[in-house]
Amino acid sequence: MSRSYTFSHAISRQPSQSIIKGLRAVDTGTPDLALFAQHHADYVAALRSTGAEVTLLDALEDYPDSVFVEDAALCLPEGAVVMRPGAPTRLGEAAIMAPTLTHFYEDIRTIEAPDFIEGGDILTTEKEILVGTSARTTSGGIEALRRATVDWGYTVREVTTPAGVLHFKTDCSLLDEETILSTKRLAASGCFEGYRVIHTAEGEEACGNTIRFNELVIMPSGFPRTAEVLDKAGYTVREVGNSEAAKLDGGMSCLSLRFSPPKPPVKA
Q: Report, as residue numbers or ranges, the catalytic residues.
A: 167, 254
Burial status of residue 10 (CB atoms within 10 A of its CB: 0-12, 13-18, 19 or more): buried
Distance CA 140, CA 19 (A): 30
| DSSP code for 129 | E
Q: Is 131:117 a contact under the CB 8 Å cutoff?
A: yes
Q: Are strands 108-110 and 80-82 parallel, antiparallel or unpaired?
A: parallel
23-32: long-range contacts, CB 8 A cutoff, minimum separation 24: 23/64, 23/65, 23/87, 23/89, 23/90, 23/248, 23/249, 24/247, 24/248, 24/249, 25/166, 25/249, 28/246, 28/247, 29/247, 30/247, 31/244, 31/245, 31/247, 31/248, 32/244
